[in-house]
């Protein structure tokens, strides 16, 4: 069975200061269908935003952000657990730190655990361990973390679900004539130097971190598919029916 990673961002998971329950439900239903065809790992953001719904601390202070992640992570997991249970699916929490990927011994242990979970049809839900992470040693955004997870945990493809239909030739929020790029084989080094352009209050990455993730995966001969997490039609068509009608596929030529 092929193994894939789904990454969902804060923009999709939160709405008006709350967890976007309907979108999360739709995502879980989608994963239940994907499980018939793939082994699925989920990389989920949204812990800080979920924490903020219970205790609105000032997010600009790093210790507050870490506290919010600590409050929000179990709340987010509770929401996932309740929803997955409707499909008789067990989900699990995996908190990792960026340094894991440069420590072959720890990585091998983590891989064994992930393999065991997937063999048992469990959906591992991965997030960066923000509470104990040291600022200089973090990914800081789950796009690049998800790319590493894809590569190091032997997955074929990373599907990023975001608040936009795909990658455009320019920022579509600022340019009405921006065109969606259906397929991308290489990423220009200039594009990787752009400043971050996250669109929503809790998003951290913007398009640059998605391009960095894509660049890493292309170089490692893996694929990345970027599409809307608001409307899952395009991700469903691509992953379940092998139809590429919309969204951006990043892959080596």
Footprint of ligand ADP on this chain (CB under 6 A)? 9-12, 162-164, 167-168, 170-173, 197-200, 203, 205-207
Alpha carbons 228 and 231: distance in angstroms, whole number? 6
**Residue 91 CB, nearest approach to ligand ADP (Å):** 20
| HEC readout, 149-175 | HHHHCCCCEEEEEECCCCCECCCCCCC
**Residue 111 CB, nearest approach to ligand ADP (Å):** 26
Q: Which is nearer to ligand ADP, 175 or 221 (CB)?
A: 175
Residue 11: in which H helix or E strand, if any? helix 10-13
Determine contact, residues 58/64, Cβ cutoff 8 Å.
yes
Give 28-56 as a DSSP string: HHHHHHHTTTEEEEEEE--HHHHHHHH--
Bin 15: left if φ > 0, else alpha if -120 < ψ < 50, else beta.
Answer: beta
Q: Which is nearer to ligand ADP, 39 or 210 (CB)?
A: 210
Q: Which is nearer to ligand ADP, 9 or 51 (CB)?
A: 9
**Residue 166 CB, nearest approach to ligand ADP (Å):** 7
**Residue 108 CB, nearest approach to ligand ADP (Å):** 30
Q: Tokens representing 155?
A: 């997955």
Q: Which is nearer to ligand ADP, 25 or 163 (CB)?
A: 163
**Residue 36 CB, nearest approach to ligand ADP (Å):** 26
Instruction: Look at residue 158 and give its three-state secondary structure.
Output: strand
Q: Which is nearer to ligand ADP, 32 or 197 (CB)?
A: 197
**Residue 46 CB, nearest approach to ligand ADP (Å):** 9
Q: Which is nearer to ligand ADP, 93 or 171 (CB)?
A: 171
Give 182-211 as a DSSP string: SEES---TTGGGSPP---STT----HHHHH
Alpha carbons 36 and 44: distance in angstroms, whole number? 21
Nearest residue to ligand ADP, using CB?
9
């Amino acid at each position: 069975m092929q193994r894939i990673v789904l990454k969902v961002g804060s923009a999709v998971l939160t709405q008006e200061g709350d967890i976007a329950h309907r979108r999360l439900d739709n995502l879980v239903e989608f994963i239940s269908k994907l499980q018939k065809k793939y082994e699925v790992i989920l990389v989920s953001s949204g812990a800080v935003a979920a924490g903020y719904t219970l205790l609105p601390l000032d997010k600009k202070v790093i210790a507050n952000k870490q506290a919010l992640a600590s409050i929000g992570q179990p709340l987010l997991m509770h929401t996932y657990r309740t929803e997955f249970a409707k499909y008789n699916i067990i989900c699990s929490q995996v908190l990792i730190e960026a340094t894991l990927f440069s420590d072959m011994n720890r990585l091998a242990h983590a891989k064994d655990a992930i393999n065991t979970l997937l063999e048992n049809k469990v959906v591992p839900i991965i997030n960066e361990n923000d509470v104990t992470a040291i600022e200089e040693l973090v990914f800081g955004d789950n796009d690049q973390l998800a790319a590493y997870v894809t590569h190091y945990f032997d997955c074929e493809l990373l599907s990023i679900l975001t608040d936009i239909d795909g990658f455009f030739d320019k920022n579509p929020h600022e340019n009405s004539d921006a065109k969606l790029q259906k397929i991308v084989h290489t990423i220009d080094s200039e594009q990787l130097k752009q400043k971050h352009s996250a669109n929503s209050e809790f998003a951290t990455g913007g398009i640059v971190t998605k391009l960095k993730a894509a660049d890493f995966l292309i170089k490692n001969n893996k694929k990345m598919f970027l599409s809307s997490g608001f409307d899952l039609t395009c991700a469903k068509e691509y992953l379940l029916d092998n139809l590429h009608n919309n969204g951006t596929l990043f892959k080596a030529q």
